[in-house]
Amino acid sequence: MKYAFKLLVAAFAAATSLSAQAHAGHDHPAHPHPGQSSFGDAATAAAPEGVTVSNCWIRALPNRLPSAAYFTLNNSGDRDAVLVGAQSKAFGKVMLHASKTVNGMAAMVHADKIEVPAGGNFEFAPGGHHVMLEQPTSELQVGKSLPITFWFDGDRALTSDCEIRSPASLK
Ligand SMILES: [Cu+2]
């Protein structure tokens, strides 16, 4: 019993030193993880061909509660566009969300990506898809605008000014 335990420990040690060696040999980039930090520099990223963001607005909730952004994506290009995330300097946390009804209750789920087919549209609207905006860096002011950068497959980006509207706004 004791011997078997020692063997296990030895095997474990060998395995860990092997994997340490495997990693030491080459310089691999940091693992990509969900969130804004995995995106590139919006200022230098190319725009996805034929894709536009229109009518972007933010339903502002008071007291730094999570707010949501709504907009329409239009793809007049000849290839499908895939929205993979969004970011904004005005918020600490920005996520793509879909709304669903679970057991008769409204719920939100993460959306990894949104496909906008060539020649098609995709609407983010109250009750449906939205960009969740959490941890605002300052109180949102109705009537002002904030830029949101939308990231697409292939490190493509689009930035749109989004008008801040009151909590009662539906569109
Ligand atoms: Cu949400």
Question: What domain range is 110 assigned to?
Answer: 50-165
Distance 126 CA to ligand 1 centre (A): 10
| Residue 80: CB atoms within 10 Å | 14
pLDDT tens sequence across 23-48? 443 444 444 444 445 788 888 999 99
Give the start-end residues of each E strand in the chain: 51-59, 67-75, 81-87, 91-102, 105-110, 114-116, 121-124, 130-136, 145-152, 156-165
Distance 85 CA to ligand 1 centre (A): 13
- Would the pTM of this model clear 0.75, i.e. be above it? yes
Distance 94 CA to ligand 1 centre (A): 9
Give yes or no for a contact between 69 and 102, defined as CB atoms under 8 angstroms apart: no
pLDDT tens sequence across 95-153? 999 998 889 998 999 999 999 999 999 999 999 999 999 999 999 999 999 999 999 99
Distance 22 CA to ligand 1 centre (A): 41
> Domain for residue 43, yes or no?
no
Distance 140 CA to ligand 1 centre (A): 17
Alpha helices in the chain (DSSP H): 2-24
pLDDT tens sequence across 151-164? 999 999 999 999 99
> Domain for residue 76, yes or no?
yes
The closest alpha carbon to 83, from 95, 101, 99, belongs to 95
> Domain for residue 8, yes or no?
no
> Domain for residue 107, yes or no?
yes
> Domain for residue 20, yes or no?
no
> Domain for residue 14, yes or no?
no
